[in-house]
Chains A and B, each alone.
Chain A
């Protein structure tokens, strides 16, 4: 698989949702409440990119396609890109930079508190996403830090769940996918420990190092 050639194509595809929003805004096709559409769309794509990022490791292991890992950083950074747009929409088009109102929101509204927390958790991950930072922190520590994505994704899904009025279908879909992706990691973590009680110790070093 020519990853080098494929990467720019995937990169452009990841910009698709933004391009679509931009085109619709330009052609006046965002409907009666454009700002609501922009808020929901950037939020949706944040969750989608978080889940895609979290799906890379299980997919890679289950399909035996090691090259997949080379897309993980890009997807993670796109999750951060869309959450930043989502956050900017909130502070600009919803609160119009009214810091006082924003702080009140973050303090009083559970769904905003948890959503904002998720956003904060992603900042260090985006910041330390470069190879230089992996070297500086050391693989193990870097990996430990980047497990924050689990909590960011959980926060994102809860944020959505607490926002809807009655119809929980869509947040439920995200929750199920996230449950499967995190469940996979728990299983991978538990099995060797559980079986080691009955069987001679299994060397899990290979698994540890590559777990994402």
Chain B
């Protein structure tokens, strides 16, 4: 019998109605089948994955996007339990637990630098700037693994237009929150905190570049960068900064954290490129989580429409 201790149950963990109804249906079926063993064995399988999947609020009014891939979406449990999020831990299996109580409200984002109006915006104001879209993107980590994620957000350009950058602004810089009290990984200088990432203005304006606050139709889980992150699908994952508190417009190329840490290994551009190896490993193939065989890595992670941004550039030098 499945008996939950009431003291341990969180509001967010209470089984949603639809599942509850499923369960009734299931129980009826099980009764017909009979056998207590069968019940207990199958009961757990049916219920447990769904509970973890319902921890966050649903986002309403999500529109589909023509940018979405039709490839198989990586299971939610993998995307939420395998995270490179050094602010919490360098162990990919740990952020899920360590970020559980991370506070994402209230949350302010400073928009400054070369803009006509410097301001501090509430994250909920930003989220309401445009209507949410689902963008199913391939996501390729510099380490050689990849996932397919149904992100929710809208083009970063929506925010840029509203921020009204000056014509001198050539780059954008994104800064992740620095809060070692909440982020145990920041208590050690594994990286030079706070985490900084950057994009060239035309990259940031590209419609594929996503300002993201959700995934799988729900609010972004903490371990995936809540409450606000960017997703730049044609670049290695580390370019997509998480938990952003500052967006700065600048005329100089920002020094992104990994580039600062190991300039010969992680460049500013870091476009997915099977022909340019990381000095310590090949980037020609990748392991899509859930697949046994490795698959070839595609130029710009398969987003050829960004190629024109780099025409005439030596991508071996500007890696």
Contacts and interface: CB of A to CB of B under 8 A. Distances in A.
A166 B294 CA distance: 25
Interface in B261-299: 261-262, 277, 280-282, 287, 289-290, 292-294
Contacts of B294: 94, 96
B287 A111 contact: no
A36 to B, nearest CB: 7
Interface in B72-108: 77-79, 81-82, 86, 90, 92-93
A109 B265 CA distance: 13
Contacts of B289: 32-33
B190 interface: yes
B145 interface: yes
Contacts of A36: 145, 287
Interface residues of A, number: 21
Contacts of A111: 280
A29 to B, nearest CB: 11
B158 to A, nearest CB: 32
A33 B82 contact: yes
A101 B285 CA distance: 11
Interface size class of B (residues with CB under 8 A): 20 to 34
A123 interface: no
A109 B280 CA distance: 5
B138 to A, nearest CB: 16
A93 B112 CA distance: 48
A166 B261 contact: yes
Contacts of A61: none
Interface string A79-114: 000000000000001101000010011001111000
B306 interface: no
Contacts of A162: 280
B82 A166 contact: no
Given A32-B289, A166-B190, A105 B93 contact: no
B190 A31 contact: no
A169 B92 CA distance: 15
22 contacts: A31-B78, A31-B81, A31-B82, A31-B93, A32-B81, A32-B92, A33-B92, A35-B287, A93-B292, A96-B294, A101-B282, A108-B277, A109-B280, A109-B282, A110-B280, A111-B280, A163-B280, A165-B143, A166-B90, A166-B190, A167-B86, A167-B190
Interface of B: 77-79, 81-82, 86, 90, 92-93, 143, 145, 190-191, 261-262, 277, 280-282, 287, 289-290, 292-294
